[in-house]
Every structure is written in C-alpha cells, then in structure tokens.
Structure 1
C-alpha cells in the first residue's frame, strides 16, 4: 500500500517527461507556431496573425515561387544585428535572373504576375535601412544554387532581399501552412494567395 503514492508520482514524472520530449521533437522537426510582428506581408498576413509553420515539406521538395517561408537571419542580416526569424514570399528560384525594372519584378526577363502585393503598388529597388546600404537588386541578379530571393507582399514596407540579398536554403525553417488566429481568418496559407 505504501508503494502506491510513489508509483503514482513516478508515473506522473514519466508522463510529463515523455510529453516534454514529444513536444520538443515536434517543434524541432515537424511544426511550430509563429506570429506576424510587422506589416511587411500585408495584405496576405496581418499583424498578430498566428501561423503554424510546417517543417516537413522541404525535406522532400524545394521551395517554390509563391511559398511563404520563415527563415533565420542570413549572414548579412546578422551583421546588422538581426536575430529574430523573418517571414517573406519566395520570388526568385535557383538559376533564375531576377531584376526590378519600371516597378515590376522580372524573372528571366519576363514580368512576374503578383496580385498578392499590398495595393498592387509598383515594386521599387529601395530604399534600404541606411542610405549607405547599396540595394542588392540595383542590378539584375542570378540566384545561386540552394538559395532564394524573397520579398514581402507589402513592398513599400518590407525589408527584404532587395536590400540584403538571397536566403540560403539552410536558413529556411519552414513554410507557412495554416493561420490559426484570429478565428475569423482561420485557414490555409498557401500559394493560391500568390495568384
């Protein structure tokens, strides 16, 4: 009889420990929740939207144009003292030439149809955060292998690849899959919003 309370405590400790290991494993390898801290992805994502970021897809396929990805800061961003993850839309793929001319993004010389941008405003090359910062897209750029060019949907209010360059695939955490907050906007966050 005296062993019962000890067994119950031991079982509770095992259950809590196993739950913690499972939760950490899921967050590390399968999915994690993120929130939107800025207006850089308007109108697709609003400030304080809560998203589920899934981490499995890119083990089986490469990111595609239109995917909304979360990534850790690149070397260029770390040098500017950025430490938090970013969320942007994949625009340029490995091997493609990307340029911005006359307010339009060009992929291999062809205008990119972008109905998802805030107010359908033209895409400008700058301004960047500091006047000394030379915009990355001031001239056409060929995207290297295993790297991507990403832009915010709110082009007038997004610090993105136009200024600091490409995102190596190794920096990508995952893909925005589901918006779970606010409840009135719950649903998938997918490439269909990019068309």
Structure 2
C-alpha cells in the first residue's frame, strides 16, 4: 500500500544535537568562553574602592580597562593605570589592584618640588589642574630617576593616596611595568559620571629623557 512522504515540518522528534535546548547550551558555552577571553586579554571592569583618585574617580565609580594596549606600546605619562602593587607595598586583603596616574616613565627624573611648589619631570613643571581641590602637589619631598622597566605613580587626591611617595625605601617607590593590568580609559558607571579618562595636556610639554 502506498504511503505519501511526510514533510519535515510534521516530524516531531529531533536528534539531541538539533534540539533547541542543545543550541541554547552551545550559545551559552560560547558566550562564557568569549566573555572569559575578553576579560583575560582585552577588556576588564574595575570599581573604585577609595578616594585616592578623587575627583577624577569617585568612590564606587566603575571603569573600563584596556588590557591589550601595553602589549603593543609602552605606558605613557599621564595615563591612569590599574596595577598589582609590589609585595613591598603590603597591600591588604581585597586590595589586589591599585589605580593611579603615571607621572614618570623609565628614565624620567621626577622631583618635588620647584620654587613654585610644582612637581617637575625632566625639568618641566607640571600644571596639575586635575588634583583634588585644595591639595598640594605633594607634602613629601622626593628626587627620583625612574629605573628601567618601572613607573612612578601618584593618586590625584595627593593627601589621601598611598602611592610611590609612600614606598621610597623600596625601588624608589616605583612599580614594575610587568605588574600593570592595563589602562583605565573610561568611567562607565554610574551613567551620570560617564566620561573618558584622557591624558592631561600638561604632560604634552614634558621633554624626552
């Protein structure tokens, strides 16, 4: 007896590998793998746990960090970076990363302060209009030539920042570039604080080493 062919849309059973459940599982797994790869190699988010970078970054702001940039070029003066502090800095629990601004790069001569109470880099005074209102550039004096492969970093809220100045007895307070996680380039949360973290113009006039 002749039986007419059954069209595919009338077939109710489908192999597992063609089921919607399996397709959803594959999408979830791929999404997790992609997200992990992005977080590990490209982009990561961090929240601000202290006031050491006020008013550039406020408590509980969330920033985007480019983790790929320094694979292609060296860190530049004026950039805001996230880094794992050297063991000698004695970071406590929950303080695995710090966020500060680069003031000196390898070979730079960083001094506090000139007769006008300004920090100088390679003889050029910095006009630091990004500092926390009322803060001096630094209450601590220093005269440092940044070693190769390291950075001199400072918070924008100088009176509330345990930065390179607080660790002069260990490698002159400098941070190995190898411990830098990446450059913080934007505040993304809260929305009312959204902005890019550009390099202040004062660093453009600093001469080469």
TM-score scaled by structure 2?
0.79
Task: Name the structure 2 match of 1:32.
Answer: 44
Partner of residue 190 from structure 1, selected from 177, 181, 198? 198
Structure 2 gaps of 5+ residues are 1-11, 168-172, 204-209
For the residues of structure 1 that align with 2:73 and 2:16, how far apart are their CA atoms?
Answer: 51
Task: Name the structure 2 match of 1:130.
Answer: none
Instruction: Report the Cα offset of residue 17 of structure 1.
Output: 0.8
- Equivalent positions of 1:93-172 (< 5 A) are 93-101=105-113, 103-119=117-133, 121-126=135-140, 139-164=142-167, 165-172=173-180
**Equivalent residues of 2:126, 2:202 under 8 A apart:** no
Task: Name the structure 2 match of 1:3.
Answer: 14
Instruction: Report the Cα offset of residue 45 of structure 1.
Output: 0.9
Secondary structure, counterpart of 1:21 in structure 2: helix
Secondary structure, counterpart of 1:76 in structure 2: helix
Task: Name the structure 2 match of 1:18.
Answer: 30
For the residues of structure 1 that align with 2:196 and 2:113, how far apart are their CA atoms?
Answer: 32
For the residues of structure 1 that align with 2:31 and 2:157, how far apart are their CA atoms?
Answer: 40
**Equivalent residues of 1:118, 1:153 under 8 A apart:** yes
**Equivalent residues of 2:110, 2:119 under 8 A apart:** yes
For the residues of structure 2 that align with 1:194 and 1:52, how far apart are their CA atoms?
Answer: 24
For the residues of structure 2 that align with 1:41 and 1:32, how far apart are their CA atoms?
Answer: 19
Secondary structure, counterpart of 1:12 in structure 2: helix
**Higher alpha-carbon Rg:** 2
Structure 1 gaps of 5+ residues are 127-137
- Equivalent positions of 1:27-106 (< 5 A) are 27-77=39-89, 79-81=90-92, 83-101=95-113, 103-106=117-120
Q: How many residues align?
A: 183
TM-score scaled by structure 1?
0.84
